Amino acid sequence: MFVTDLHHFLDLPDDTPGPARRLAEHLSNIVRAATAGDAGTTWMTTLPCRRRPAHRSCPGRMIVFRSEFPAPIHWQCSVCHDEGVISNWQDSPYDLRCRDLALARPIKEVVISEKVAAALRDLPLLDLDCERLVFAMRSDDARIILPATDDDLDELIGFVAAEANHETNRRRQQRLDTALEALTDAAQKDVR
Ligand SMILES: [Zn+2]
């Protein structure tokens, strides 16, 4: 069991070595997902496992459970069963819990590809609502599902379009264009 205090991974100095930085990113993404999704339920995020048993990437994804504060966030890999807890997550920059009451609006279950999910997770400059939307993506068998209302989708499309517009790297721009296409297609379908 890997026990961590998120405070030790916040505001890392500039000279922090790569592995520590990647671990910090991994843990903060777990906190973002666990706080973007519902409390009191165990669910599978889209976050990949970072272990490499026998020099091969573990194909598992992070399964998370969060009860109300002050309980730590529990995470576990769906394949290798690597597991841990993260304490002191509340009110960190990665705590995406919704502060205001969300209005009940029809929610679409948008099915997206692994590549689109990765492109969305890497988007910079998301506002809090969009960040919550992206980190609440879940894995369901072989599918990745983005639960979103029409308004959420519109907002996210706006972000992706703006990002694709000023991206100068061609490969990253193609990735964003693919994401944009997938979201636009989903937005044009009726809620069911
Ligand atoms: Zn694993």
- Say how many Å lie between the CA of residue 114 and the centre of ligand 1: 17
Identify the helix (H) or strand (E) that includes residue 30: helix 18-36
**100-146 confidence digits (pLDDT tens):** 666 667 788 999 999 999 999 998 878 888 999 999 999 987 899 99
State the DSSP code for 76: E
- Say how many Å lie between the CA of residue 109 and the centre of ligand 1: 26
Please name the amino acid found at residue 135: F
- Rounded-to-integer distance, Cα 179 and Cα 173, Å: 10
pTM of the model: 0.86
- Say how many Å lie between the CA of residue 53 and the centre of ligand 1: 8
CB atoms within 10 A of CB 136: 24
What confidence score (pLDDT) does residue 104 get?
Answer: 66
The gap between the terminal CA atoms of the chain, to the nearest Å, is 41
**137-185 confidence digits (pLDDT tens):** 999 878 999 999 888 999 999 999 999 999 999 999 999 999 999 999 9
- Say how many Å lie between the CA of residue 1 and the centre of ligand 1: 13
* Tokens 């995406």 found at: 96
- Say how many Å lie between the CA of residue 5 and the centre of ligand 1: 21
- Say how many Å lie between the CA of residue 79 and the centre of ligand 1: 5
- Say how many Å lie between the CA of residue 35 and the centre of ligand 1: 21
Number of H helices, E strands in the chain: 5, 8
- Say how many Å lie between the CA of residue 58 and the centre of ligand 1: 5
In degrees rounded to 5, what are phi and psi of residue 23?
A: -65, -40
* Residue among 131, 137, 96 nearest 116 (CA): 137
